[in-house]
Structure 1
Amino acid sequence: MSDSPTPAHPEGSGYDFARLVPQRSFGLKLILVCALALSMAVPAGFVYMIFSSRAANADAAIFDVTSLQAGNQNLLGPVIIVPYERDTVVSVNSVSNVSQVRTSTGHVLLYAETGTVAADLKTEIRKRGLQQVPVFTSNATFKATFNPARIIAEAPSGARIVWSDAKVLMNVSDLRGAKDAQLSIGGRALEMAPLSINRSDGNGQRVIGALLGWTEEPQAGPLQVSASLNVTGAQNVSFATFARDTTIDLSGDWRSPRFDSGVLPDTREITKDGFSASWHVPFLARGVPGAGADIWFDQLMSPGASLLNEASPYQSVERALKYAPMFIGLVFLTYFLFEVTIGKRAHPAQYILVGLAQVIFYMLLLAISEVLGFNTGFAIAAFATVAALSLYAGSVFASRAAMLKALGAFSVLYALIYVLLRQEDYALLVGSIASFLAIAGTMFMTRNLDWYGVGRSTIRREPEPDDDEALPDPA
């Protein structure tokens, strides 16, 4: 075997590209680590597919419950509907001077001058497999004051009011949930019954109501109406603004309501024992006339509340998955910093195992949260993942100090994930600041690193011997 030294590269022969191989160049190793972090989006995508399937199962459970009993409920307080007839000349025979008259029908819908609603919700949980669906029973009391004089004023010119067919109507959007309905006018009780009303657009609408028993135009003056509805439903309850000036008071024993029916309450209070909320919708804010022809109550504003299921983990897990690429990248960056500070290299395969462990974290989070709730699920999944990553770091870098540093760093990282998921309004701000600090810290820690180095594993490198200095004999 020849003892002749390896010939040096002649001057001008080009750059020594061997210095760029991952075993020797931290720069190329960082590029490889970034590529591996991005590649973890593939298994994370499969986890998201599993999440989507489980979320669809939850929606199916809700549909199952609401198909067997009532679903979302929108309640309408008392309104008065009065039919009319009107003759219209459609043609005239010029020879016989005989007119052809067509009789058309219509209605005048009269809303109350003032109306109040007082409702209380009693809730319970229905289970379908692992899924929980909140259902409720509501007792709602309505009071309304009408001005019958508006009927004549709003009827078309030449209309003949059919007073004997005048009705008072109420509505429950899902009539399967209607348990009891009572109505009285001026202290006189009326029996409510299911009705079908033909709308001007040709569609029918199912309501409940009663004949008023009028035979002629009612006497001038206010008409007092009171009513009550007992209904069951699921997830959401709302109340149409059935009067020109409507006040709604809603209370219940659910601890996590969301007021999302288009109108925020004027006052609200949420405690560990339940909630209460109040709305006042004046005539101008309602945006619908107080009376008129072909004005239907599906155009009305409907304040109300949704019953958010705190035990449902799907929204939080979905948000966690959206942050997965960033946090996988931060863990990879931590391992890379261990490489350049401790002086022992980690193989790309070890980075892949670390990335897969983090992907499995999201599967654990979803699976445990479905059974024990999100907070407990996150605690268990995070503890297991942090422990695995930290112990692995101690093994990879053969250092107990590296294990302890990894334990501290990854504990802070997963605590940050939890904070981001809990602080929905400030998640972007917190995440942006954390990402900036991570990159700034990396820049500071690697400020003296020779990215084109020849394999030195520490940031502060020892001076290399001069070309003219004799190297020590390895023997």
Structure 2
Amino acid sequence: MEQQQKQNTNKFGNWVKTSITARMLMVGTLVMILLLPLSYISSLINERSFRQQDVVNEINGKWGNNVLVYGPILKLPYKTYTETTIYNKETKTYATETETKIKYAYIFPENLDTQITADSKTLKRGNFESAVYTSSMNFTGNYIKPQLASKDIKDEDIIWDKASIIIKTSNLKGIKNEMFINLNNSKYTFETNFNNTQNTYLNELESSFIKKEDAPIDVSKSFNFSMTFNGSKLIQIIPIGKTTTMSMASNWPDPSFIGSFLPDDETKEITKDGFKANWKVLHINRAFSQQHLNAIPNLSQFAFGTKFVVMVDEFQKSERSAKYGFLVIGLTFLIFFLIQTMSKINIHPFQYLMIGLALVMFYTLLVSISEHSNFLKAYLVAGISVVLLITLYSKSILKNIKFPLFIGVSLTALYTFIYVIIQLENYALLVGSIGLFLILAIVMFVSRKIDWHNG
């Protein structure tokens, strides 16, 4: 009975050693096992990425956050009347009392033109970086007489000498100049309005009361003002002019045009030295009117402008690289499997496991080194270390120099291929698909000589 068990054990051991099917099952199982440490590495990259975002937010908070400008808006007070009928029990008569209340109309400009220049750069802390800029924004435009009769507001009820100008912005802290507006050749300064309860995302600046002769009572009144910001990430405005135009120029080479409206293709220029773009938005292009009662509406969804993109950062590159971990492990094991099958050299499962763990270590080296250097240097150090380690280790397994050299060259080509894909933006999927197709073709060509029926 014991002899029979030994014979069965020997048969199973021989089957594992000689059967192609058994080796395939073993390699497949090891690949699946190694997916577990790969998932932990992906979690580590995400954790470090969140840390990077915290640092970027801290940098931006100190320099200046994103810039959104909503204005200038003419705040126009007007009188409303409420009549109340009161019955007097003693005289048995009715008396009518009229209560006067002040409400506000908010008038948008007829034309609004914005000229923006942004001097951009990156700020770094360790290996973390953020896109920041100093922007100069010049606004010009005009108001025409408000047509409030359609809203049952009479001209004589408008309190022109209590009118003011409101500007809203997302980055009050980043303003670097004294704020004032020139209206009909008169100068009015701004103060922060702490009573603002609308649009809490935006801070509100309100001017002093404008002179009656500067208000658009009968004729159009022009205005201009400037704002200088320290900001980060993006610049946007809300197109409140009946006709809104904006031009923007910057030395930032990687803009992303965002929001509800895109710049004119004919005027857009993007080079390695920066970009220029022009927008034009008509009132017919947006879904809001030029006059609003009681409150300034939240129109942030209509904002447009430019995002200053930091092209694929270090952690994004590491994350994209880790996504190819399954491919690297699978193809490396496939190479060893083909060598083992074609040369009849035995490779123990433990040796496969050691090779797989070395491949996984590539990603921990990449992430840790890239935090203290740029991605290319980290990739080179991690790649060369792992390729040399596996090449030297495979020499002790395969007992010759030919196969280890082939493995070293193959791994070098594979890591180079993945690095190229990571750097590409628009063509990553295309190049990756072509590369995988060529790899599949090579494997099919090499494996055609294997006798698959002998396993």
| TM-score clears 0.5 | yes
Q: Which residue of 1 aligns with 2:406?
A: 405
SS in structure 2 of the partner of residue 349 of structure 1: helix
| CA distance in structure 2 between the aligned counterparts of 1:84 and 1:249, rounded to whole angstroms | 36
Superposed counterparts of 1:377-392, under 5 Å: 377-392=378-393
Give the 3 Å change call, closer, same or farther, for CA 138–364 of structure 1 in structure 2: same
Give the 3 Å change call, closer, same or farther, for CA 391–202 of structure 1 in structure 2: closer
Q: Which residue of 1 aligns with 2:54?
A: 60
Are the counterparts in 2 of residues 21 and 28 from structure 1 also a CA contact under 8 Å? Answer: yes
Q: Which residue of 2 aligns with 1:78?
A: 72
Q: Which residue of 1 aligns with 2:109?
A: 112
Q: Which residue of 2 aligns with 1:279?
A: 279
Task: Kindly state the Cα deviation for residue 366 of structure 1 after the two structures are TM-superposed.
Answer: 1.9
Q: Which moved more, 1:207-216 or 1:138-147?
A: 207-216
Are the counterparts in 1 of residues 196 and 204 from structure 2 also a CA contact under 8 Å? Answer: no
SS in structure 2 of the partner of residue 329 of structure 1: helix
Task: Kindly state the Cα deviation for residue 411 of structure 1 after the two structures are TM-superposed.
Answer: 2.3
Are the counterparts in 2 of residues 82 and 109 from structure 1 also a CA contact under 8 Å? Answer: yes
Task: Give the AA of the match of 1:87.
Answer: Y
Task: Kindly state the Cα deviation for residue 141 of structure 1 after the two structures are TM-superposed.
Answer: 0.5
Task: Kindly state the Cα deviation for residue 91 of structure 1 after the two structures are TM-superposed.
Answer: 5.9
Q: Is residue 438 of structure 1 aligned with residue 439 of structure 2?
A: yes
| CA distance in structure 2 between the aligned counterparts of 1:310 and 1:204, rounded to whole angstroms | 28
Are the counterparts in 2 of residues 197 and 207 from structure 1 also a CA contact under 8 Å? Answer: no
More helix, by proportion: 2
Task: Kindly state the Cα deviation for residue 25 of structure 1 after the two structures are TM-superposed.
Answer: 0.7
Q: Which residue of 1 aligns with 2:163?
A: 166
| CA distance in structure 2 between the aligned counterparts of 1:286 and 1:161, rounded to whole angstroms | 28
SS in structure 2 of the partner of residue 112 of structure 1: coil
Q: Is residue 427 of structure 1 aligned with residue 424 of structure 2?
A: no
Q: Which moved more, 1:441-450 or 1:401-410?
A: 441-450
Give the 3 Å change call, closer, same or farther, for CA 158–337 of structure 1 in structure 2: same
Superposed counterparts of 1:128-277, under 5 Å: 128-150=125-147, 152-153=148-149, 155-157=151-153, 160-180=157-177, 181-196=179-194, 198=196, 206-214=204-212, 218-266=216-264, 267-277=267-277
Task: Kindly state the Cα deviation for residue 155 of structure 1 after the two structures are TM-superposed.
Answer: 4.2
Q: Which residue of 1 aligns with 2:24?
A: 30
Task: Kindly state the Cα deviation for residue 102 of structure 1 after the two structures are TM-superposed.
Answer: 5.1
Give the 3 Å change call, closer, same or farther, for CA 246–52 of structure 1 in structure 2: same
Are the counterparts in 2 of residues 250 and 277 from structure 1 also a CA contact under 8 Å? Answer: yes
| CA distance in structure 2 between the aligned counterparts of 1:198 and 1:440, rounded to whole angstroms | 67
Task: Kindly state the Cα deviation for residue 204 of structure 1 after the two structures are TM-superposed.
Answer: 9.5
Task: Kindly state the Cα deviation for residue 167 of structure 1 after the two structures are TM-superposed.
Answer: 1.0
Q: Which moved more, 1:129-138 or 1:443-452?
A: 443-452
Are the counterparts in 2 of residues 288 and 300 from structure 1 also a CA contact under 8 Å? Answer: no
SS in structure 2 of the partner of residue 420 of structure 1: helix
Are the counterparts in 1 of residues 170 and 201 from structure 2 also a CA contact under 8 Å? Answer: no
| CA distance in structure 1 between the aligned counterparts of 2:199 and 2:327, rounded to whole angstroms | 54
Are the counterparts in 1 of residues 83 and 96 from structure 2 also a CA contact under 8 Å? Answer: yes
TM normalised by structure 1 equals 0.82
Give the 3 Å change call, closer, same or farther, for CA 416–100 of structure 1 in structure 2: farther
Q: Which consecutive unaligned segments of at least 5 residues does structure 1 have?
A: 1-5, 455-475
Q: Which consecutive unaligned segments of at least 5 residues does structure 2 have?
A: none
Task: Kindly state the Cα deviation for residue 330 of structure 1 after the two structures are TM-superposed.
Answer: 1.4
| CA distance in structure 1 between the aligned counterparts of 2:379 and 2:94, rounded to whole angstroms | 87
| CA distance in structure 2 between the aligned counterparts of 1:106 and 1:161, rounded to whole angstroms | 10
Task: Give the AA of the match of 1:88.
Answer: T
Are the counterparts in 1 of residues 175 and 228 from structure 2 also a CA contact under 8 Å? Answer: yes
| CA distance in structure 1 between the aligned counterparts of 2:195 and 2:69, rounded to whole angstroms | 17
Task: Kindly state the Cα deviation for residue 306 of structure 1 after the two structures are TM-superposed.
Answer: 2.4
Are the counterparts in 2 of residues 182 and 229 from structure 1 also a CA contact under 8 Å? Answer: no
Task: Give the AA of the match of 1:258.
Answer: S
Q: Identity rate of aligned residues, in percent?
A: 25
SS in structure 2 of the partner of residue 191 of structure 1: strand
Task: Kindly state the Cα deviation for residue 18 of structure 1 after the two structures are TM-superposed.
Answer: 3.6
Are the counterparts in 2 of residues 247 and 280 from structure 1 also a CA contact under 8 Å? Answer: yes
Task: Kindly state the Cα deviation for residue 203 of structure 1 after the two structures are TM-superposed.
Answer: 11
CA offsets per residue over residues 287-341 of structure 1, 9 Å max, x none? 2212222442544622222223348311121122222212221111122112122
Query: Aligned Cα RMSD in Å?
Result: 3.1
CA offsets per residue over residues 169-206 of structure 1, 9 Å max, x none? 22221211112123211222222222246567999953
TM normalised by structure 2 equals 0.86
SS in structure 1 of the partner of residue 138 of structure 2: strand
| CA distance in structure 2 between the aligned counterparts of 1:203 and 1:97, rounded to whole angstroms | 49
| CA distance in structure 1 between the aligned counterparts of 2:100 and 2:340, rounded to whole angstroms | 91
Are the counterparts in 1 of residues 260 and 301 from structure 2 also a CA contact under 8 Å? Answer: no
